[in-house]
Each structure stands twice: as structure tokens, then as C-alpha cells.
A and B are shown apart, each in its own frame.
Chain A
Amino acid sequence: MTIHSHDSAGVGTTVPAPAPWAIRMRDVTVRYPNGVVALDGITLDIEPGEMVSVVGLSGSGKSSMIRTINGLVPITSGSLTVGGHALESTSGRQLRRLRGEIGMIFQGFNLAGRTSVLNNVLVGRLAHTSLWRTLLGAYTDADKQIAFEALDRVGILAKAWDRASSLSGGQQQRVAIARALSQQPRLVLADEPVASLDPPTAHAVMGDLRRINEELGITVLTNLHLVDLARTYGTRMIGLRAGEVVYDGPAATATDADFERIYGRSIEAEDVLGR
């Protein structure tokens, strides 16, 4: 499979996309040291190339689920396979290599504010960069090219040399998406990626994520708590409540009743983003 830059002017290049990854969860339970059970026996299959919205109130376990998938949170029991790699038996260098294949986007953008946009995007190349090159800041030209292409794909190539903290929230989240893209990931995890953005910016960022899924074929898993975003930007929706899956079906046709079952209360105005 090949991919093309969304830019019709053809600035981007054509590179073979790595095959997207599936996620297989079997009776996965996560219990934190303080005794809180974040995930309670979850069994799920996410196929390669799916665009999945994970919906639930805060505390429902959706953030823990995403962090479990790339090994930031260890599994207490059960088995979790990502792209054929069993996560519970992966650690150290192997785990870092695995994480290198999984892009992650956060609610708070999580950029290093005092350094350039380019340096932030190059963080996505760390898993493929030797220690001495990292320490000297001497990234290869090939890695820089990948970073520039990722910035171009989210439309902020012009900001490459700006300080990350000088950008607006929406632009910072685009830098974070470019950071994930520069990993040339097989799976992208997004944890409430638009919760700190205004409605038009939120739609633009969600559009970027959908385009990554459609044009690059990458599996995308997005945590959301807003009803309309979950319906619009996912093909499949998974509802979590108290660490258990309470809904799994198509996103577009999920009814208000379905959401009420996930949230355990009636739908309110604040559950909808609008435009």
C-alpha cells in the first residue's frame, strides 16, 4: 500500500505505509496499587485499520485502557496482544521498540514548550535513534525529512522552527499529531485529544485523526466523552462504564439511549460539543 500527502500540491512524498496493527484483549484487568480497579475483565478485538471511539465518563477506565495498550500501565491479569506482540511478556528494549510503533496523543499536548516544533516532532524518531545521536541532538537527515513530512501532513510545516509554547492550542495538538505520525505508527492512540480545544479547532483536529485513518490506513483509537464527536468521527464505538464494556457497535447509529446506558444518566447539553 502507498500513501499520498493530503496536500494536493504534492509537497509530500510517497512512502510505503507499514501494515496497521490489531489489538486483542482477553479478560484484561488492571488494578492500581491503591486498589482501584480501572479495567475489569475486558475482552475486545480491534481489527487493523479500524477507527474506534472509546466513550465513557471520566473514571470509566478509558484512559487506563489506552495507556495499557502501549504498556504505560501494566496489566494485572489477562492477556493483551498488540500487532501480534504479547504485552504482558514484553519489557525493556522490546517494550520501547513496541511503543515506537504506537503513536500517542494526549489531552494536554505534552510538548516540550521551550524547544522548537521540529525537535518536538523528532521525539517521534527516538525509538529509531541511537543514544549518542540523541545526546548530541544530531538526528539523521532521513529522520528530519520524516518530521517535515509529518508537519506538512497536519498543515503546520511553516511553524517548524517556532518555539512549541508560542503556538495556539490547536496548533500544539497538530504538532503532537505530527510527533505521532513521525513514528510511522501502525496504531495511533488518542486520549481526549480535543478536550482542551474550542469547537472549530476540535473538529479540525478530529478531522486530522480521521484522515490519518482513511489515507494511511492506520488503526486509530480515540477516547472521547462528547456524544456528537463519537458519532461523527468513529466507525465503531466502544462504551466503558466502571471498567467494563457496556456498548460495542457502530458509532454513527448509536442512539441517545445507548449513550445514557454508557453514562448511567441522561444526556445533557455539556455532553455535546456542537460547532
Chain B
Amino acid sequence: MTADGTSGPLRIPRRPRGRWKPWLALAVVAAITAVTASPQWGVAVAFDAIARNWQNGALKIVQLLQPDWAFWPRTVAPLLETLQMAVIATVVGALLSLPLSLWAAKLTNPHAVGRGILRTVLNAVRSVPDLLYASVLVAMVGVGALPGIIALVLFNVGIIVKLVSEAIESNDAGPLEAGRAAGGSQLQVNRAIALPDVWPSFINQTLYVFELNVRASTVLGLVGAGGLGLLIDAVRTYYRYDQLSLIILEILVIVVVIDLVSSAIRKRLV
């Protein structure tokens, strides 16, 4: 039966064209992968190296499976320093990010020029890896936790401002218009109306960068920027994979605990 009540063969609309596009995309990805892995053009991945060196690798794995528990007391102080760096960097980064996020979003800053400048600077800040910041800062301010903290703050501001300002853009413009219509200045309206709606995404992203900071601050010490990384570098130099194994376990436990705590906090954010 057709819609007008008469019976007859179904008139199926013609299938749209252009269904080959996903296949083309897949072919392009496959071609790029093949070229980058090929010996002439790309990085020349030699899988036979795994076969040749497997005994060596197996030995390391056996060592890693036997953590040196007696090493524990020496890891406590660097571990605490790593956590302290992560906390300080998160707090400072978040405090800097909140006003900058409002400044970077079109909804809360109608001035295109200022917004454009800030976004360009932030893109530049974000494009540099934190380990690179740390190695440059160690040369500038000396070895220790301080260059690590500054590197993490830069990294945090780049991430939080990008994610929070994008969340602001997706908010409704209506309440802000109401605030302007009541005679509020942009700054007043941002504080009284935009800020309460920004809180959840701001806290969410701050917890996220805290997790990233704990991971990142464990390796910043490799370039002399404080924390566990310094110890990792030392045990690695002496091929003490049993001690490295203990450090990895400790990082694992801390990261899991922090993930659990922050996801518990996130659930309460409605």
C-alpha cells in the first residue's frame, strides 16, 4: 500500500551518488602509511631488529618483573616533589587560565583583534612540547623543580584556555544579551552570567590537566627539571631495571588513584 491508499509496487528513491568517498579516504590513509614505512621514502621500519634482539629484550622484561622493593625509601622524596610540582602547576595554571578563557571566547569578548592575538599566542605556546620547555628553562633558571613547574604552567594554560573557551562558545548567547540589555558592561556580564555556566567545564579541564601534570612531571626530571625523572635517569644509566620497575609501579598507582578521585569529582559536577 502506498501513502494515498492505492496498492502498487513501492517506489524506492534512487540511491544517492558519492558512496565511493569513504573508500577513497581509506585508500589515501593506506597509501600514506605505506610510503612513510617504506625503506626508500620513509623511516625504514626494520621489524627484523625485534627478532635479532629478542633475547636482550626478554632479559630486560625479566628484570622489570622483579622490582627492587628495598629501593622504596629513596623514591619517597622525589615522588613527593613530583606531586608537589603537579599541584602547584595546576593551581597556578588554572588561575591564569580562567580570565584568559573568557578573553579567548567570542561570546565573552567581542573584540576580534585582542581575541586573535591571544589565540595566536596560545597556539604557539601549545605547539611546544613540555619537555622542550623544561630543557630550555633549566638552562635559563637552573636545575630543580622551578623550571619544571613553569614548563607545566605554560602547558596547562595552553590546554585549559583552548578547551574552556571552546566550551564557552557552545553556550547560549541569550543570557549574556540579557545582561547587556540590563546595562551591564562586558566584564560585569562575564562575571555575573558567563562565569556560573563556565564552572563545570573549567573544573573538568583543570582535573584533566592535573592528571596530565602528574604523568608529565615524572619525566621532566630527565632534563633536570626536578621530580622523579632525575631518579629515573640515574637508575636507567646504571641499567637497574629492577629499581626502574619499582618507580614505574609507583607512578602507575598514583595515576590510577588520581584518575579515580577526579572521575568521582566529575560525577558530582552536573
Contact = CB atoms under 8 A, between A and B. Distances in A.
A103 B191 contact: no
A90 interface: no
Contact of B177 (A72, A115, A122, A179): A72
A104 B183 contact: no
B178 A126 contact: no
B182 A115 contact: no
B177 A134 contact: no
Contact of A96 (B175, B184, B197): B184
B197 A126 contact: no
A115 B194 CA distance: 10
Interface string B180-220: 11111101110111101101100000000000000000000
A223 B193 CA distance: 25
Given A99-B182, A100-B183, A123 B192 contact: yes
> B181, B196, B199: which has the most chain A beta carbons within 10 Å?
B181
B184 A123 contact: yes
A184 to B, nearest CB: 11
B196 A119 contact: yes
B197 A113 contact: yes
Contact of A114 (B178, B184, B199): B199
Interface string A102-129: 1110101111111100010011101101
Contact of A112 (B185, B188, B196, B200): B196
Contacts of B196: 112, 114-115, 119
B198 to A, nearest CB: 9
B178 A99 contact: no
What is the interface residue range for chain A against chain B? 35 or more
A142 interface: no
Given A111-B175, A112-B196, A99 B188 contact: no
A110 B177 contact: yes
A139 to B, nearest CB: 10
A134 B192 contact: yes
B174 interface: yes
Contacts of B189: 126
B178 A104 contact: yes
Contacts of B184: 96, 123, 126-127, 134
B78 interface: no
A134 B191 contact: yes
A129 B197 contact: no
B183 A131 contact: no
A176 interface: yes
B181 A104 contact: yes
B176 to A, nearest CB: 8
A26 interface: no
Nearest to B173: A110
A164 to B, nearest CB: 9
A131 B190 CA distance: 11
A113 B188 CA distance: 17
Nearest to B181: A104
A126 B188 contact: yes
A85 interface: no
Contact of B182 (A111, A112, A127): A127
Interface string A169-195: 000000010011001000000000000
A101 B200 CA distance: 33
A115 B199 CA distance: 10
Contacts of A115: 196
Given A114-B196, A119-B196, A98 B178 contact: no
12 contacts: A99-B182, A100-B182, A110-B172, A112-B193, A112-B196, A114-B199, A114-B200, A119-B196, A123-B182, A126-B179, A131-B188, A183-B183
Interface of B: 172, 174-175, 177-185, 187-189, 191-194, 196-197, 199-200
List of 4 A-B pairs having minimum Cβ-Cβ separation, nearest first: A127-B183, A100-B183, A126-B184, A115-B196
Given A114-B196, A119-B196, A123-B184, 19 more contacts: A96-B183, A98-B183, A99-B181, A101-B183, A112-B175, A112-B193, A112-B194, A113-B175, A115-B196, A123-B182, A123-B193, A126-B183, A126-B188, A127-B184, A131-B185, A131-B188, A134-B187, A135-B187, A180-B182
